[in-house]
């Protein structure tokens, strides 16, 4: 038997959030997400949470599970101590239960112009990019925008204007891309007040990233580029 203690808040009904307990028998290999579906389908159909791919690639189900920001789909029940406390991502307005309003998170992301600004007009075929140049962006590509880093970051908590680990990692993805021609503008933009120098290098983002990315390192690299003007 496992117990989930789930953060519940319905703006139509509740003034204050509360934690509700749910007990059930998990099967071997059952994930937190499968547990949430078990509750929705059999115990309490008013529960709200997000999910889609169930294989750690769509970024829907980041939440705070027993003290750590994780993807519910990728986390097995049996590795955690029961009762398992489940809360929504922090620093974001709550819509209902485990569903938060991610607009502030995506608004920061949009600010960094998250699209390729090509250095030169496209050739007839593909831009040539060496294997080595392609490798330079490899560490920054896999972000699924789940928000785990944002939820765990104390600077995001204090400063809603702070671009955040997700947006800064994406900025470096374009800075390091041999096809992108806006490096100078990008570095200048993230050097502003709410950018890279607001990062206190606490490493929370790196600790929690379910894709094992290292936004702290990305930010450090941007700081280095900003200071030494090495582009």
Element (H, E) at 22: strand 18-24
Contact 205, 215 (CB under 8 A): yes
Q: How far is the CB of 50 from another protein (least distance, A)?
A: 8
Residue from 118, 119, 158, 188 touching another protein (CB under 8 A): that is 118
Q: Which is nearer to another protein, 27 or 231 (CB)?
A: 27
Using rule CB under 8 A, residue 47 touches another protein: yes
Q: Which is nearer to another protein, 48 or 83 (CB)?
A: 48
Using rule CB under 8 A, residue 16 touches another protein: no
Q: How far is the CB of 68 from another protein (least distance, A)?
A: 15
How big is the site for another protein, counted in residues (CB under 8 A)? 58
Using rule CB under 8 A, residue 41 touches another protein: yes
Task: Supply φ then ψ for residue 110, to 5 degrees.
Answer: -65, -30
- By CB under 8 A, what part of segment 158-177 binds another protein? 174, 177
Residue from 90, 129, 191, 194 touching another protein (CB under 8 A): that is 129
Residue from 122, 193, 228, 230 touching another protein (CB under 8 A): that is 122
Burial label for 216, CB within 10 Å (0-12, 13-18, 19+), is buried
Q: What six digits make up the tokens of 105? A: 């998170």
Distance, CA of 56 to CA of 207 (rounded, Å)? 16
Residue 168: which of 123, 134, 205 has the closest Cα? 205
């Amino acid at each position: 038997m496992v117990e989930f203690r789930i953060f519940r808040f319905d703006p139509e009904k509740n003034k204050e959030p509360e934690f509700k307990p749910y007990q059930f028998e998990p099967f071997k290999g059952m994930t937190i997400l499968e547990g949430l579906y078990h509750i929705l389908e059999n115990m309490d159909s008013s529960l709200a949470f997000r999910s889609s791919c169930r294989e750690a690639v769509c970024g829907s189900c980041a939440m705070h599970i027993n003290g750590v920001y994780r993807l519910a789909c990728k986390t097995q029940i049996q590795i955690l101590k029961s009762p398992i406390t489940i809360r929504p991502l922090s620093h974001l307005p709550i819509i209902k239960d485990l569903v938060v309003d991610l607009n502030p998170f995506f608004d920061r992301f949009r600010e960094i112009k998250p699209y390729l600004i090509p250095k030169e007009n496209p050739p007839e075929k593909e831009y040539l990019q060496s294997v080595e140049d392609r490798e330079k962006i490899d560490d920054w590509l896999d972000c699924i925008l789940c928000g785990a880093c944002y939820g765990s970051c104390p600077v995001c908590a204090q400063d809603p204007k702070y671009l955040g680990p997700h947006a800064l990692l994406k900025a470096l993805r374009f800075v390091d891309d041999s096809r992108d021609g806006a490096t100078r503008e990008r570095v200048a933009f993230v050097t502003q007040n709410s950018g890279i120098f607001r990062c206190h290098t606490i490493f929370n983002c790196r600790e929690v990233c379910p894709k094992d990315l290292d936004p702290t390192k990305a930010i450090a690299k941007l700081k280095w580029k900003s200071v030494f003007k090495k582009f």
